[in-house]
Amino acid sequence: MVRTFGLTHVALAVADAERAFAFYRDVFGMVAVYRGEGFVQAQTSGARDVLVLEEKAERPAGSGGIAHLGFRLVDPNDIDEAVRAVERAGGEILERGDFCPGEPYLFCRDRDGYAVEIRHELPKPVDPVEAPRADRCG
């Protein structure tokens, strides 16, 4: 077994990297950490997750199996703000409800049509214990 920090990034084919980034910035507060010709690499502040948005005229063959991207709310009471943020950012709400008491969710589409789940999940025994973070180089 190789030790990792877990799944750290997903790369999505998008029509316009900056437009796609604006959605994730406005809804989740993601920050662009790298930009290049036709791509933006964004990260959620205080976390290791990365979303790479790559401009592609066509979606690559074999990548159509992405069912959805999932984001986990810190506070279940933020679900209403999540709905408003998605709508303000040009997304579409598909479904909303509760998986069980204390676990509200919503499914939406971003501006490129990707399904995104936003939910609160009750703590699990395998959740990491937060460690102090060190400043990054450069």
User: pLDDT digits over 42-96, tens only?
Assistant: 999 888 889 999 998 776 665 566 878 989 888 999 999 999 999 999 999 999 9
User: pLDDT digits over 17-38, tens only?
Assistant: 999 999 999 999 999 999 999 9
pLDDT beyond 50 at 138 = no
Fold exhibited by the domain 9-56+65-120: 2,3-Dihydroxybiphenyl 1,2-Dioxygenase; domain 1 (3.10.180)
d(CA 126, CA 106): 24
Q: Looking at residues 87-116, what average pLDDT do you find? A: 94
Q: What is the 3-state secondary structure (H, E, C) of 81-127?
A: HHHHHHHHCCCEEEEEEECCCCCEEEEEECCCCCEEEEEECCCCCCC
Rounded to two decimals, the pTM is 0.81
pLDDT of residue 42: 95
d(CA 118, CA 45): 17
